[in-house]
């Protein structure tokens, strides 16, 4: 029981820390504000993360299209292959966090994984734009 409480506390602190570092990690100020307003309520935090992930996915797709537009056909194929592999990795990795025995904290952890990975990839692709 103590171990589960420590795990839950760690996840909550991780999410709060994530919100505090929103600007540095490519996350929005709206996300940070949403997490502050969630007051540590799991359902509210999951909603904040879901909204941010959707926005990050749009940002990632925009960066991907812009980078693809500036590449030669051979490089386009490389990026397409890399992106497909990254999507599979993100899904496999983050779905692992969604431990069926982990309750709502596992859902929160998996959601945070998707959001964080998407933020990092969006920022990475934006770095390839000319």
Catalogue all structural domains in the chain, each as residue range(s) with its CATH number. 2-126 (1.20.1270)
Q: What's the predicted TM-score (pTM) here? A: 0.80
Q: What is the pLDDT of residues 19-70, one digit of tens each?
A: 444 455 789 999 999 999 999 999 999 999 999 999 999 999 999 999 999 9
Rounded to 10 deg, the angle between the 42-69 and 103-126 helix axes is 20
Q: What is the pLDDT of residues 68-93, one digit of tens each?
A: 999 999 999 999 999 999 999 999 99
């Amino acid at each position: 029981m103590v171990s589960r409480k420590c795990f839950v506390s760690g996840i909550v602190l991780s999410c709060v820390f994530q919100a505090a570092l929103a600007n540095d990690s490519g996350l929005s100020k709206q996300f940070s504000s949403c997490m502050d307003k969630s007051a540590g309520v799991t359902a509210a935090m999951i909603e904040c993360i879901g909204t941010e992930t959707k926005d990050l996915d749009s940002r990632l797709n925009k960066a991907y299209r812009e980078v693809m537009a500036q590449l030669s056909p051979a490089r386009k194929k490389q990026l397409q292959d890399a992106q497909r592999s990254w999507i599979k990795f993100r899904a496999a990795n983050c779905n692992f966090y969604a431990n069926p025995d982990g309750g709502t904290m596992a859902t929160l952890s998996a959601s945070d994984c998707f959001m964080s990975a998407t933020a990092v990839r969006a920022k990475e692709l934006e770095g390839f734009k000319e």
